[in-house]
Structure 1
Amino acid sequence: MPKQKDILTTGEVAKICNVAPRTVSKWFDSGQLKGYRIPGSKDRRIPLTALIKFMKQHQIPLDGLQSGKTRVLLVDEVSETVEVLKKMLVEQAGYEVDLAHSGFSAGVECEKFRPHVILIDLHLGDVSGEDVLKLVRENPDLQMSKVIAVSGKLTEGQASALTTAGFDGFLRKPFHVKQVIDIVEEATALVY
């Protein structure tokens, strides 16, 4: 297990708190979040101890501190597929990965796991992928979560219409693990 860092960037703090990097900058600039600027630069650094104190004061869940890794929730009814994909994403990309095998369990896992990226099969038996997307978009705690639709049954037109419907991307089955890593990295790319 890698050693936890003592000093964090605003991007790392944003990932841990599941907020935009600009929000962290505002916390810093207003004096709410203690830290320092790099001399000769506008870059900010936040000591881990100051971040923990800030998170406790503002009732921000501390579970993001456990890893600081990108959290990915895989939602698919085919358990063999997601089990293999989970193993590959953990080993090859170092992600923290959780699984859900239905739309209902996806909603429960979103609340507990606070994923950065949700890869959801659009053809779940109990709840549609669109319904899970709606739940995520309506939850203020999940506003930074990116939702990627997964399907092997859609035409090109239907697939491109998904971004209009609010999805952050689309992945066509079957896919390679590298494609999954690429789309997760693209979805979580932070602009400073």
Structure 2
Amino acid sequence: MSDFQEQKEVLTTGEVAKICNVAARTVSKWFDKGDIEGYRIPGSKDRRIPKSSLIKFMKQHGIPLDGLMTGTTRVLVVESDVATRDTLLKVLGDNTGYELRGCENTFVAGIECERFAPHVVLLDTSLPGGAEIVQAMQANDDRTTDFIAVCGRTADPRNETYLRKGYAGCIRKPFTVRQVIDAIEDCTSIIN
């Protein structure tokens, strides 16, 4: 977490979801059922949860409190080209506070999705099994992972093909660091 987030006393459902490693809609259900205390922003549907209520909830339900300290965005880079993968990991590591991991195929990506529980997966669309891993992760209601398609120059310029397949976004090679960071930020900026 950034210094700013560590000092925040009130959190969004998206921030609570990252801390507890669940989907934002799961946090909304907890809130709506009264399982976790908070309030709605007047004139809005947005929910806010005081940090003290979150800690109480986590203790009651046996959720490890270490998530409060490690609420950083976790990104998994799945790229078959070693140079591209290593460059992405280095550049993202140098320019963000993300927790990063990388792998070269969708089999290892499936294992890493279970172990690492990434918030965002940058997935090379040329790899076999990509569509299946996206579908499998989407079938899990409690999973918070968004997928960003990393595709070649000949891909659908409007991204519609990938959005229909369940990807949250698409970046086309060659891409800039800013494009990658913006795509990740778009996935993680859920505020409800």
* TM-score, with length taken from structure 2: 0.78
The 5-angstrom pairing of residues 1-192 of structure 1 reads 4-5=6-7, 7-10=9-12, 11-17=14-20, 18-20=22-24, 23-28=26-31, 30-34=33-37, 44-47=48-51, 50-58=53-61, 60=63, 64-124=67-127, 127-142=128-143, 144-152=144-152, 154-156=154-156, 159-192=159-192
Equivalent AA in structure 1 for residue 51 of structure 2: P
Q: Which amino acid aligns with 1:150?
A: V
CA distance in structure 2 between the aligned counterparts of 1:152 and 1:63, rounded to whole angstroms: 39
CA distance in 2, matches of 1:15, 1:171: 23
- Would you say the 8 A contact 1:76–1:82 is kept in 2? yes
Give me the whole-angstrom Cα distance separating, in 1, the residues matched to 2:139 and 2:40. Answer: 35
- Unmatched tracts of structure 2, length 5 or more: none
Q: Which structure exhibits the higher relative contact order, with contacts defined as CA atoms closer than 8 Å and separated by 6 or more residues?
A: 2
Q: Hey, what's the Cα distance between the residues in 1 that align with 2:189 and 2:51?
A: 23
Q: Distance in 1 between matches of 2:145 and 2:56?
A: 24
Paired residues in the alignment total: 186
Q: TM-score, normalised by structure 1?
A: 0.78
Distance change >3 Å, CA 79–CA 56, structure 1 → 2:
farther
Offset of residue 173 of structure 1: 0.8
- CA RMSD for the aligned pairs? 3.1
**Paired letter, 1:104:** F
Helix, strand or coil for the counterpart of 1:90? helix
Distance verdict in 2 for CA 1:86–1:64, change over 3 Å: farther
Contact 1:35 1:47 in 2 (8 A): no
